[in-house]
Amino acid sequence: MQNKSENQLTLYEQEYYTKVYGGWLGKNIGGTLGAPLEGQMSLLDLTFYSSLPDGPLENDDLDLQLVWLHALEQYGARLTAKELGQEWMEHIFFPFDEYGYALTNLRRGLVAPVAGWFNNPFTNCMGSPIRSEIWAMVAPGAPGVAAYYAYQDAIVDHAGGEGVYGEMFFAAIQSAAFVESDRGRLIDIGLSYIPEQCRTAQAVKDLLRWHEEGKDWIEARELILKHHGHDNFTDAPQNIAFTILGWLYGEDFGDAILKAVNCGYDTDCTGATLGAILGIIGGAACLPGKWVEPVGDRIVVSPPIKGFPAPANLDELTLRTMKAAREVLAVWDTGVAIEPGNGAAVGSCSQSYDPRYLWRLSVTENRYLLPQGSISKDGLELAIDYGQEGPSIGKQASRTLGIQLTNHSQEKWTGRLSLTLPAGWSGPEGQLFELLPGAVLGWSPEISSDNRVQPAYKLSLSVERLHNGFIWNREEVSFSLVASTHWTLAGPGGEEEPVICPGNRIAFERLTSLEESGERLAASMDRGDRADRGEQHENGGVYRASARLVVPTERDLRLIVATASPVKVSLNGTVLCDDPNVTQFMPAYHRAPASKAAELRIPAGEHQLVIEVTKLKDLPLEVYVLPVANGTQIVPGSFYYYTDVWFA
């Protein structure tokens, strides 16, 4: 986990306090400024809070970081994405976009990064870049460590997407801001912790060039939208660029956060993050009284965040953050010391850890250190790779897992790998192995399911160690597969075919008639990338999908058929929705277009679902089918996904 630090950095306690407090206060100010206008995609003209609040507005930008502070207090400085996922299921009940998809996957037994990647169309969004401050504040002056934590956080709900890079970028900037104050130097530090060619880096570097060329802030905004814009207002690269725009063009604190928010789009996020950055750089004293007084010292927690002792105010939040930081800095051996007294930091940023290797890790696999609970690679390392299909399996279907076992110890391991499968399934007997130090074993077992369907399946992989031909000990690693969705599909004028889809997206491109004609949809790309690359399906007409919707118990159901295309949806012969219009493609549980969703009381049993989608030229054919709770649920909250409903 840690590398020995050669650099030494001293932070003085009073200055550290005011920077942490200033960061949290700036977060509240910017979030309160931008929250009422979230999602407005036009150029705005705010000059102050749209209405003077009595304290800060609730905001998920801060809410989730309160949970992460609790996670640090619960699990300590060695926490990973696994523990953050556990905290999520226990305390976070937001249904929003990537939050909803990640929570669905976690509830079905998946773990990060697979839980944050699989079946998730929102990995490029802002849900993780907005929660970077906690990692910077507990790793002040150690941007590599802060970026490591940001990665662990972001892969819970954004694995494989720009959301990961956005959070690493901001965490590195904010950590360095405890030592550095030069804007250009801080932005360069942030960029050094994300891939040069990622969309986030490209958007920021383009903005820096336009600023250097003398473009004014409105011209820069238009160029961001022209070259990096997206029709989802929460897409990360455009909003991260708006945040930096406010910093580049702002004449003071208020002007900076106003310019960021007045760019529109994810306004609470852009304002809150920039407010936090400026609050850390200058400390609480740099924040103007006119911006501070309306929000004060209070913390307001959103009702879906619950079940833990949230700080009562910013002072308590700051003190608890500082306490967690002392453990983090010690465990990571950063060379950063917090000493009594006041004054500017002495020394330079710690280079004790380089997290950039994390970019290369596959999001289709989960990795485990053995013995379980280990924190360093001194024994075995097990990887389970699900491939591009993800951790799913159909009824009476077969699939192959990619198992890799690496011996990081200093002695030979002799043993046996075997799988424990659900009753009625079949698979290989097992795999004997001998692994010298440093050696790697690959195993590709093929497993087959039976004719019984359930939403998720529990499996385990056993790693037995043998001594003298007898079992010495055994490690059991549990993992889950989820039920694929089964559809009968037909293209325009084509024959119906059974097609198995790994997630909620209907994979029309798997129709044999389309494969034979060479006209495929780019299933693994997001909608914007497909449009940019010109990889759109040109075959117009009506596409048909039918399935049996299996509902175990009677309930209120919100059935969403998320598509931009015209669509007609029938259940048991009754038309639920018939929308002939092109709308935004929005496969979110809580904000899909109302014309492409229906709410009903549905009895237990099997129901025949038929979907007819009209393919239009120049419009990608994307359809997600989502059975969720309606908006009136009180416990655990609205719009959560029904994990016990499946498509057969």
Q: What is the pTM of this model?
A: 0.95
Going by DSSP bridges, is the β-strand pair 446-448/567-571 parallel, antiparallel, or unpaired? unpaired
* 531 pLDDT higher than 60: no
For the chain, list the domains and their CATH numbers: 9-356 (1.10.4080.10), 364-482 (2.60.40.10), 485-647 (2.60.120.380)
Please compute the mean of the pLDDT values over residues 412-432 and round it to a whole number.
96
Length of the chain: 648
Higher pLDDT, 533 or 122: 122
Tokens of 137: 């504040």
Query: What is the arithmetic mean of pLDDT over 527-546?
Result: 59
Whole-number mean pLDDT of the chain?
94
- H helices of 177-266, in order, are 183-192, 199-212, 217-228, 236-249, 253-262
Which pLDDT score is estimated for 517?
A: 52
DSSP 194: S
Assign 418 to helix, strand or coil: strand
- Type of residue numbered 439: A
Mean pLDDT of 223-242: 98
**524 has a pLDDT exceeding 80:** no
Query: What is the arithmetic mean of pLDDT over 581-587?
Result: 96
Tell me the mean pLDDT in the region 359-382.
94
Alpha-carbon distances, residue 378 vs 353, 371, 385 (angstroms): 19, 9, 22
DSSP class of residue 235 equals: B
Q: What is the DSSP letter of 505?
A: B
- More confident of the two residues 536 and 243: 243
Element (H, E) at 625: strand 624-628
Phi, psi angles (nearest 5°) of residue 68:
-65, -35
Instruction: Report DSSP state, residue 495.
Output: P
Tell me how far CA of residue 482 lies from CA of 247, 254, 343, 501, in angstroms: 44, 49, 55, 11
pLDDT at position 6 is 55
Distance between CA atoms of residues 274 and 61, nearest Å: 12
Q: How far apart are CA 144 and CA 146, in angstroms?
A: 5
Pair of tokens at residue 46: 């705010």
With beta carbons less than 8 A apart as the criterion, state whether 546 and 609 touch: yes
Average pLDDT over residues 275-299: 97
